[in-house]
Structure 1
Amino acid sequence: MSKTIRIGTRDSELALWQAKTVEKQLNDLGYRTEIIAVKSQGDLVLDKPLYELGITGIFTKTLDIAMIKGEVDIAVHSMKDVPTALPQGIVQAAVLPRANVLDILVHKGSTEFLETSATIATGSLRRQAQWLNRYPQHTVVDLRGNVNTRMQKLNDNDWSGAVFAAAGLERINLKPQTYLNLDWMIPAPAQGAMVVVAMENDHHALEALAQLNDIETEVCTAIERQFLRTLEGGCSAPIGAIAKYDEAQDEIQFHGVLLSLDGKEKLEIQRNFPINEWKKLGFHCAKEILDNGGAALMERIKAQLKK
Structure 2
Amino acid sequence: MVNKTIRIGTRDSELALWQAHTVQKQLNDLGYKTEIIAVKSQGDIILDKPLYELGITGIFTKTLDIAMINGQVDIAVHSMKDVPTALPIGIVQAAVLKRANVLDILVHKGNLDFLENEGTIATGSLRRQAQWWNKYPKHTVVDLRGNVNTRMQKLNDNDWNGAVFAAAGLERINLKPESFIDLDWMIPAPAQGAMVVVAMANDNFTIDALSQLNHIETEICTYIERQFLKTLEGGCTAPIGALAKYDEPNDTIEFEGVLLSIDGKQKLEISKKVDISEWKKLGFSCAKEILENGGNELMIEIKKQLKK
CA contact 2:78–2:195 (8 Å) conserved in 1: yes
CA contact (8 A) 1:260 1:266 kept: yes
SS of the equivalent of 2:8 reads strand
Deviation at 1:54, TM superposition (A): 4.1
The whole-number CA distance in structure 2 between the counterparts of 1:216 and 1:24 is 21
Per-residue deviation, residues 79-111 of structure 1 (Å, max 9, x unmatched)? 000000000000000000000000000001110
* Correspondence 1:85 to 2:99: no
Q: Is the 8 A contact 1:228 1:234 kept in 2?
A: no
In 2, the alpha carbon distance for the partners of 1:293 and 1:128 equals: 20
The equivalent of 1:270 in structure 2 is 271
Aligned to 2:294: 293
1:11 has 2:12 as partner? yes
Equivalent residue number for residue 76 of structure 2: 75
Structure 2 residue aligned with 1:110:
111
Q: 1:36 to 1:191 in 2, by over 3 A?
A: same
Kept after mapping to 1: 8 A contact 2:236/2:303: no
User: 1: CA distance between counterparts of 2:180 and 2:235?
Assistant: 29
Q: Which amino acid aligns with 1:195?
A: V
Q: Tell me the equivalent position of 2:25.
A: 24
Distance (Å, rounded) in 1 between the aligned partners of 2:243 and 2:63:
28
- 1:40·1:60 contact (CA, 8 Å) conserved in 2? no
Q: CA deviation at 1:40?
A: 3.1
Report if the CA contact (8 A) 2:95-2:213 is conserved: yes
8 Å CA contact retained: 2:221, 2:245:
yes
C-alpha contact (below 8 Å) 2:8/2:20 kept by paired residues: yes
Q: Cα RMSD (Å) of the superposition?
A: 1.5
Q: State the SS of the aligned residue for 1:55.
A: helix
Instruction: Write the distance in 1 (CA, Å) between the matches of 2:249 and 2:35.
Output: 41
Distance 1:150 1:41 in 2: 21
Distance (Å, rounded) in 2 between the aligned partners of 1:270 and 1:249:
17
Once the two structures are superposed, the pairs formed by residues 173-192 of structure 1 within 5 Å of their partners are 173-192=174-193
Q: What percent identity do the matched residue pairs reach?
A: 81
Say if 1:83 and 1:235, in contact at 8 Å, map to a contact too. no
Asked if structure 1 preserves the Cα contact closer than 8 Å seen for 2:58 and 2:82, the reply is yes
Tell me the matched-pair count.
299
Deviation string 1:166-206 (CA, Å, 9 cap, x unpaired) is 00000000000000100000000000000000000001100
Aligned equivalents of 2:296, 2:188: Cα separation in 1: 21
In structure 2, list runs of 5 or more residues that go unmatched.
44-53
Q: SS in structure 1 opposite 2:37?
A: strand
Structure-2 change in CA distance of 1:266 and 1:93 (3 Å):
same
